[in-house]
């Protein structure tokens, strides 16, 4: 892969990054139950809206935007990779802060993380090939799709299933462990990104004007697609907030794992993906904080909110 941006990368860090991502998914899944998956079938409208925007609209819109604007191919391919990733692990907490429908958010995170085992490799390969400006980069990457599939299974699907199993066997322990585990995983991930940026500080400063605005615009596009899809499906306000945040918070950690494993020379793609991991937390928490101050007035959302705040209910398992 001919990428003019060279990232200083310690191969030993790959083990740590894989462990961080697996730990994050394990923590998220401790309170998951089969009912969270069943909810998608019983009340499919909101989860469908989110998953449709997540796996179809966002990758397609990203491909078309990078194609139409002729964005530098390595940066464009990095954007396509992020768009191919599932929803991020912290969208559930942001949805709770935003007074959104937490069960909908949990359902979408669970389903999208498992669906990503197939859809992330497919979307990355398909849309990377569809854009004529990134096609030559994609075809120069000697990666078997089955290798990416195996990696996603190991760092997403397996930790989720293991977390659900542990949570079912030790529910009280899981309830106590999950909140601090989430915080620790997030802090370790941010520390990893900070160290990576500090090791490449000169490059970061030199290229800042190229990837910063691309990430901000791309994240805004993701949030907008979630919001538009929620309105198009005429969802209640709480559901729209959940869908918007689920689509706007991407699992960029998975993107970094894929890059460090199969494309360690793809420096520009890493800049896009790593900064996404920081920026979507800033934008998501900002939006959630603003929504937390805006009362929900439609009847269906009010009823859902009341159910979440009744005695004994928790943000993850109302």
- Phi/psi of residue 250, nearest 5 degrees: -95, 150
Give mean pLDDT, residues 161-180.
84
Residue 291's closest CA among 101, 43, 24? 101
For the ranges 69-83, 136-150, 167-181, the maximum mean pLDDT occurs at 69-83
Distance CA 38, CA 54 (A): 19
Q: What is the pLDDT of residue 35?
A: 74
Residue 84's closest CA among 28, 125, 52? 125
Tens digit of each residue's pLDDT (9 = 90 or more) over 42-84: 778 888 898 999 999 999 999 999 999 999 999 999 999 999 9
Computed over every residue of the chain, the mean pLDDT equals: 81
Domains of the chain are 13-308 (1.20.1530.20)
Q: What is the pLDDT of residue 317?
A: 44
Tens digit of each residue's pLDDT (9 = 90 or more) over 273-318: 888 888 888 898 899 999 998 888 765 555 555 554 444 444 544 4
Q: What is the pLDDT of residue 318?
A: 40
Q: Contact 59/247 with Cβ under 8 angstroms?
A: no
DSSP 208-237: HHHHHHHHHHHHHHHHHHHHHHHHHTT--H
For residue 99, give the 3-state DSSP assignment.
coil
Burial of 187 (0-12, 13-18, 19+ CB in 10 A): exposed
pTM score of the predicted model: 0.80
Beta bridge partners of 250: 87
Q: What is the pLDDT of residue 149?
A: 80
Distance CA 191, CA 250 (A): 18
Distance CA 102, CA 292 (A): 14
Q: Name the percent of the chain lying above pLDDT 70.
A: 83
Q: Tokens 């998914």: give the residue.
A: 25
């Amino acid at each position: 892969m001919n990428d003019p941006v060279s990232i200083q990368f310690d191969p030993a860090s790959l083990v740590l990054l894989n462990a961080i991502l697996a730990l994050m998914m394990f923590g998220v899944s401790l309170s998951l139950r089969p009912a969270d998956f069943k909810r998608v079938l019983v009340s499919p409208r909101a989860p469908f809206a989110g998953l449709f925007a997540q796996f179809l609209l966002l990758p397609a819109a990203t491909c078309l935007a990078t194609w139409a604007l002729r964005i530098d191919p390595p940066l464009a391919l990095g954007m396509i990779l992020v768009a191919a990733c599932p929803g991020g692990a912290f969208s559930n907490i942001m949805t709770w802060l935003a007074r959104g429908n937490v069960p909908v958010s949990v359902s979408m995170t669970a389903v999208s993380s498992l669906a990503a085992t197939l859809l992330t490799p497919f979307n990355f390969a398909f849309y990377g090939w569809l854009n004529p400006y990134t096609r030559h980069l994609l075809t120069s990457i000697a990666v078997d799709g089955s290798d990416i599939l195996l990696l996603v299974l190991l760092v997403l699907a397996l930790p989720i299933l293991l977390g659900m199993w542990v949570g079912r066997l030790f529910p009280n322990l899981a309830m106590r462990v999950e909140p601090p585990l989430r915080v620790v995983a997030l802090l370790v991930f941010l520390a990893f990104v900070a160290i990576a940026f500090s090791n490449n500080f000169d490059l970061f400063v030199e290229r800042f004007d190229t990837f910063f605005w691309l990430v901000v615009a791309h994240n805004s596009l993701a949030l907008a697609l979630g919001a538009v899809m929620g309105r198009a499906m005429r969802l209640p306000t709480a559901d729209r907030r959940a869908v918007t945040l689920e689509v706007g918070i991407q699992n960029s950690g998975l993107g970094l794992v894929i890059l460090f494993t199969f494309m360690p020379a793809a420096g520009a793609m890493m800049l896009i993906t790593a900064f996404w991991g920081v920026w979507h937390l800033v934008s998501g928490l900002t939006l959630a904080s603003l929504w937390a101050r805006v009362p929900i007035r439609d009847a269906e959302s009010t009823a859902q909110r009341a159910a979440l705040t009744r005695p004994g209910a928790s943000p993850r398992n109302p």
